[in-house]
Chains A and B, each alone.
Chain A
Amino acid sequence: MTREEALEIAAAAGAEETIGAPEPEIREGWLALARGSTAFWIGAVIVAIAILFGLVSPNNVFVKADNLLTIGLNASQIMLLAIGMTFLIGAAQLDLSIGFSLILASVLSAKTIVALGGTTEQVARGEYPNLALAVTAGIVVAIGAGAGIGLLNGLLVTRLRLNSFIVTLATSGIAYGVALILTSAANVPFVPDQLQSGFGAAKFLGVIPYPLVVALVVAGFFWWVLRRTRFGLRTLAIGSSREAAIRAGIDVDAHLVKLFVLMGALVGVAAVFDLARNASTNVVGHQSDNLAAIAAVVIGGTSLFGGIASVGGSLLGTLIPVMLGNGLVIMRVEPFYQFVAVGVILILAVYFDQRRRERSS
């Protein structure tokens, strides 16, 4: 039998295979299509929260532009962390160390800025003759420290073949311990206020907070990287089937190290945001940053099993806890209910993710 004959017989027998469902028909409508996407549901939840708090807050203050921008500003740090976490979870890895790495990076950065800004007497008086140099060095140190911890995480996971959950739980403790040793658990004094006035509390065109602008630009870039580049494709390939990626000739270990370093570098940027927004370190904060970032990513439609990831979904996912916290404060209710609500939403998101997996396999 020749190939043509086989094809003919196959065609006659109706055996010619077709990959892919027919194009969805228009009359099904966009609503029917959207029902299948996580972004639609999370968008609906966000709109529902906005409407609810908008209606019940005094003078509808919750949905005023000023308050919405404040929500964006408050979400900007977790947005940065969630972007890196989207790539890691997309590759079926986790990083629990981000909150305490952030503290360590901010402590090292603040100490650099204070040491280079001027003499001890000058900085104590609030004078910084070398402000530009000191801040530049501080930014480099923050990002370098974050990336360094990421490199350590990546090497431990790939070289020692350890689970990233345990590795980053351990390095999280190490980072926290080092930060407290360096500071004796007190915040680094004399961080220049100019960081706050020039960036942390400043607004682009007098409207949009700078940290939010930076977070959105970074998010846009990495959305593009995930969707359009080889780096994004290989990230998801590793998460989808590590074995398939290895056999396709991809250097999986090197790629994973890059992902942990990327996560760490974004932790460093978030550490700079922290200094700029508070004009201080925050060595007792960030206890739940890792939970917040992971929750945002999973709520946003990235699969905990890896292989499926969405930077846009993660951004929306960061908004839910911040909106709840902000709304509850406006309503003069304890904002701590937000943690309960996020926990419940996270469990629902993971449950739906798992059910989707079970249905399709």
Chain B
Amino acid sequence: MTAVPGSEVAIRATGIVKHFGHLEALRGADLVLRPGQILALVGDNGAGKSTLTKIICGALAPDDGELRFWDEPVRVQSTRHAHELGVYTVYQDLALAPDLSVADNLFLGREAIAGGWQGWFGVLERGAMHVETRAALGRLGINVRNLNVPVRNLSGGQRQALAVARAINWATTAVLMDEPTAALGPMQSAIVYETVKAAAARGLAVLVISHDIPRMLSVAHRIAVMRHGRVITELDAGAVKLADVIGLMLGEEVAA
């Protein structure tokens, strides 16, 4: 959809370095996100998966390295800047406002505003917001009776689905997801991943951090393995075995 002619790489991160005090979280990490492709980012705790994701989505600034969006070097200043570049993120803590309604959360930061004199005051078009929210959640198999309920009243699974729906709804370049199905049952996480596949088929680049490696092998196209702040290898998800991935994560050599 947003694919730029002549470029098949949506986001390229090269040599990303990030320190937290004396801790070297990233030591020159490289990553490539392609439109239409689901890339699973796996690794042991502390390997740097979340830090790398936060740098791509503008939540953290890298100490060194380069980010390119559609082959243009970009310094992502903020999450708002990332949104302008079409990159949306599903955070581990979901980043929802618990007191606001389902519809207000889906549109937070991208509110639909009425035209004419009302636009001058920033009057919300809640009718249109409700229609689009209902559709976005419906795609994830969530049936919404009352869009005015505060998010506080939703179950953990419903909140997670809402956060995923929000990112997929607004993203035009890439969706980054940090453990997007941690709070979901097996049925619902299946639905979420089918929706993610559909979003990728529309041309979005998708990055998924997950500990559910068997699932990643079936959902993702490629698997990138991180260890000690570097992406040590990238594999074809269809051609690799679970034991090999786990071995790589823990630092063993791949059995050729």
Contacts and interface: CB of A to CB of B under 8 A. Distances in A.
Interface stretch (A126-134, A172-180, A228-236): A228-236
B146 A21 contact: yes
Interface string A213-250: 00000000000010011110110110111011111111
Pick the most buried of B79, B100, B198: most chain A CB atoms within 10 A of its CB: B100
Contacts of A20: 102, 144-149, 153
B145 A22 contact: yes
A237 B198 CA distance: 30
B96 interface: yes
B30 interface: no
A33 to B, nearest CB: 14
Given A19-B102, A20-B145, A22-B145, A228 B124 contact: yes
A16 interface: yes
A115 B128 CA distance: 54
Pick the most buried of A13, A17, A241: most chain B CB atoms within 10 A of its CB: A17
A308 interface: yes
A2 interface: yes
Contacts of B242: none
B158 A3 contact: no
Given A21-B149, A228-B124, A250-B109, A16 B143 contact: yes
A22 B89 CA distance: 31
B44 interface: no
B99 A247 contact: no
A246 B80 CA distance: 8
A2 B97 CA distance: 32
A176 to B, nearest CB: 35
B191 A240 contact: no
A310 B89 CA distance: 32
Contacts of A248: 79, 95, 108-110
Contacts of B144: 18-20
Interface string B31-46: 0000000000000000
Contacts of B121: 225, 229
Interface in A128-181: none
A186 interface: no
Given A3-B198, A233-B100, A244-B108, A19 B146 contact: yes
A303 B187 CA distance: 37
Contacts of B100: 233, 236-237, 240, 307
B78 interface: yes
A9 B111 CA distance: 35
A247 B89 contact: yes
By size class, the interface of chain A is 35 or more
Contacts of B197: 3
A185 interface: no
A58 B90 CA distance: 66
Interface string A233-276: 11011011101111111110000000000000000000000000
Contact of A249 (B105, B109, B122, B146): B109
A246 B195 contact: no
A7 B194 CA distance: 9
A10 B191 CA distance: 8
A250 B107 CA distance: 12
B71 to A, nearest CB: 24
B141 A17 contact: yes
Given A10-B141, A17-B143, A19-B144, A245 B194 contact: no
B2 interface: no
B96 A231 contact: no
Interface string B181-194: 00001011011001
A244 B124 contact: no
Contacts of A251: 80
B91 interface: yes
Contacts of B59: 247
A249 B80 CA distance: 4
B142 interface: yes
Nearest to B188: A15
A340 interface: no
A11 B188 CA distance: 10
B194 A1 contact: yes
A93 to B, nearest CB: 15
Nearest to B59: A247
A355 to B, nearest CB: 15
Interface in B129-151: 137, 141-149
A59 to B, nearest CB: 47
A361 interface: yes
Interface in B63-122: 78-80, 83, 89, 91, 93, 95-100, 102, 104-105, 108-111, 113, 121-122
Contacts of A207: none
Contacts of B157: 17
B190 A249 contact: no
A122 to B, nearest CB: 44
**A-B CB proximity, top 5 nearest:** A20-B146, A307-B99, A248-B109, A249-B80, A3-B194
Interface of A: 1-3, 6-7, 9-11, 13, 15-23, 225, 228-231, 233-234, 236-237, 239-241, 243-251, 303, 306-308, 360-361
13 contacts: A3-B191, A6-B187, A18-B144, A19-B143, A19-B154, A20-B102, A21-B145, A23-B146, A230-B124, A236-B100, A243-B93, A244-B105, A245-B97
Given A23-B145, A228-B124, 9 more contacts: A3-B191, A6-B141, A16-B143, A17-B142, A20-B147, A20-B149, A244-B96, A248-B109, A361-B152
